[in-house]
Amino acid sequence: MSTPNETLTRKSVLLLLVGLLGPAAAAAQAPAWSDEQTISVQLSNFKFSPSEITLQAGKPYRLHLENAASHAHDFSSADFFGAVDIRPADQAKVKEGRIEVGGGQSVDVELVPKVRGEYRLRCTHFMHSSFGMTGSIVVN
Ligand SMILES: [Cu+2]
């Protein structure tokens, strides 16, 4: 037989466990976008700044791309975009592994990197990568 006090304690422990496990289980399904970190990258003639971007797998990020030039550039890395979860509302901004950013415009994409590795980044506009518009994304 358990005393009323023991029963109460067991209930409290159970409630505590539910409280601890509940949010963790929810986080496994949907990323905690409110905890995201903003990574700002400037695109210009003809470079990415910074050109080396370091991210952590499993963490939510807002990739903020700002084009300082008067004509378009893109942020292209098919391997990287194939290895991330992009927030549904932003998925249309990434086409064939690249994000186009018009002159003087900015584009934000929220994503969670899934696979550790180093990914090559470049602008696919004619000759831009040969002018030095390249970089890398490292996911740790
Ligand atoms: Cu470019």
Q: What separation in Å is there between the alpha carbon of 131 and the centre of ligand 1? A: 9
Judged by phi (left if over 0) then psi (alpha if -120 to 50, else beta), residue 101 lies in beta
**Tens-digit pLDDT profile for residues 37-71:** 999 999 999 999 999 999 999 999 999 999 999 99
**In terms of pLDDT, which residue wins out, 81 or 32?**
81
Q: What separation in Å is there between the alpha carbon of 133 and the centre of ligand 1? A: 6
Question: What's the start-to-end Cα distance of the chain, in Å?
Answer: 53
Q: How far apart are CA 113 and CA 34, in angstroms?
A: 16
Q: What separation in Å is there between the alpha carbon of 47 and the centre of ligand 1? A: 7
What's the pLDDT score for residue 11?
52
Q: What separation in Å is there between the alpha carbon of 80 and the centre of ligand 1? A: 18
Q: Retrieve residue 85's tokens.
A: 């979860």
Cα of 4 vs its chain's centroid, Å: 50
What's the pLDDT score for residue 140?
98
What's the pLDDT score for residue 10?
55
User: What is the percent of the chain where pLDDT is above 70?
Assistant: 79
CA pseudo-torsion sign 117, 140, 32, 61: negative
Which range among 1-10, 37-46, 77-86, 117-126 shows the weakest confidence by mean pLDDT? 1-10
Q: How far apart are CA 68 and CA 44, in angstroms?
A: 5
What's the pLDDT score for residue 31?
84
What's the pLDDT score for residue 83?
98
**In terms of pLDDT, which residue wins out, 16 or 48?**
48
Whether the CB-CB separation of 133 and 51 falls below 8 Å is answered with: no
pLDDT at 94 over 60: yes
Q: What separation in Å is there between the alpha carbon of 137 and the centre of ligand 1? A: 17
Q: What separation in Å is there between the alpha carbon of 61 and the centre of ligand 1? A: 23
Q: How far apart are CA 139 and CA 116, in angstroms?
A: 5
Q: What separation in Å is there between the alpha carbon of 4 and the centre of ligand 1? A: 71
Q: How far apart are CA 10 and CA 13, in angstroms?
A: 5
Q: What separation in Å is there between the alpha carbon of 48 and the centre of ligand 1? A: 9
Q: What separation in Å is there between the alpha carbon of 104 and the centre of ligand 1? A: 13
